[in-house]
Amino acid sequence: MNKSSLLLLVSICSLLIGCSSAEKQQLSEAEKPVQKMHGHKHRALANGTLSLDIIKHQGKLHLLQGIHHNGEKALWYQYSSNQGKDWSAPVNINKTKHIEANLSRGNDARLAVQGDHIVVIWPSRVEGAPHNAGPMKAVRSNDGGKSWQKSSIPADWSIGPHAFFAMDGNEQAINVVWLDSRNGQSAVKGSQGMRFSQSKDGGQSWSSNKTLDNVTCACCWNTAKFDLDNDFFVLYRDKQPTDMAIGVLKDNDQWQRLSTVGDFNWDFPGCPHIGGGLAFQDKQTMHSVVGSGHMDHLGVHYLRSNDQGKTWSDPVQLGDESSIHADIASAENGRVIAVWDMRTEDGLAVFYAESSNGGLSWSQNKRLSKPGMRATHPRIISHDAGFLTLWTESKTGKTQSLQMQSL
């Protein structure tokens, strides 16, 4: 084992192993009540928020939580019309029925919006399958989230498993990317292929699948967003080396891998469970945060592109070498905020740093989560009045709650 891989195992994978076991055995008390279903057999699992997604569409924030409560899992949808100050009554998208979902932070259920149509997808759970992972499932709403119906899935290889979804929508379409191994086991260890599909009718039907990259990291989350020109960018972890990459689908659906985001030359044969964050400031400028396990570049790094992802600035480290899960958001006035979790004396905590000049310089790190809480996987989103950051945290490892804070 080379020094980089060894240091990764010592410094970072200990966090991931902790995350994995916690996600299987912990997770929190729901902020909203979940109806208990009877007669369903289940393994012991603590109550809590297993999954989290948030997007902004036409000034409205849309929130999706995957929640476990007394043996039952459910996905709950809410929206906010005032930047997260108040939220609508939660709606169970599966009509109070238990769902067999294989949810965890980093492999979250996702949602996207096209007009009044909302689509939600999640990875199903198949007991006894490798990693208990099954094919994706989907539901859609045609009335802004008031009611939900079972929907066709984006994947045309229905056997699965499918996982690590990323999706976004605009007025014309909803685009989805995910990972699967439909072509069999790759010769590259710890890899899967990244697939793409599009719906132009609010999730009723989906295009034939396109393979964007046949050899990517098998279990790192992806990030996918439309930019201001409605081009669809995907940030994902590549292989050989295991650095982050970015590509784009133009209107003609032609895929182009643009560049490596953080050219650290980190070659790791395993799967580190570390994705990244992506934000657009204007039609040329984008911001990214990526994690690395390279011995010389451990932790989370910020990079800026002034040419739509073709080239990137030198990386700026955020936090220390134990930083791992990160996200980023930006506003038109040049304000950029990055959030991440990292090890402290009292456990994993969430921090942020801010730039007022489009990422050219950064403030000191500031802690968001309270001492004594294990806080992880922060998300951040910009809105008309500022920024909203969200994360999940636990004090005892038995319950984990969703936290929000405006910045």
Average pLDDT score over residue span 316-344? 96
Mean pLDDT of the chain: 88
Q: What is the model's pLDDT at position 45?
A: 66
Q: What is the model's pLDDT at position 46?
A: 63
Tell me the CB-side half-sphere exposure of residue 71, using CA atoms within 13 A.
8
- Provide the pLDDT confidence category of residue 101 given band limits of 50, 70 and 90: very high
Q: What is the CATH number of domain 3-406?
A: 2.120.10.10
CA atoms of 330 and 382, how far apart (whole Å): 6
Does the structure show a pLDDT above 60 at 111?
A: yes
Q: 252: Cβ–Cβ under 8 A, 6 or more apart, which residues?
A: none
Q: Read off the pLDDT of residues 141-191 as tens digits, 9 standing for 90 and up.
A: 999 999 999 999 999 999 999 999 999 999 999 999 999 999 998 889 999
Query: Which of 27-36, 118-127, 140-149, 212-221 is the least confident region?
Result: 27-36
Other C-beta atoms within 10 Å of 18: how many? Answer: 15
Q: Read off the pLDDT of residues 193-246 as tens digits, 9 standing for 90 and up.
A: 999 999 999 999 999 999 999 999 999 999 999 999 999 999 999 999 999 999
Does the structure show a pLDDT above 70 at 331?
A: yes
Grouping H, G, I as helix, E, B as strand and the rest as coil, residue 379 is strand
Any idea where the domains of the chain sit in the sequence? 3-406
Sign of the C-alpha dihedral, residues 250, 255, 259, 264? Answer: positive
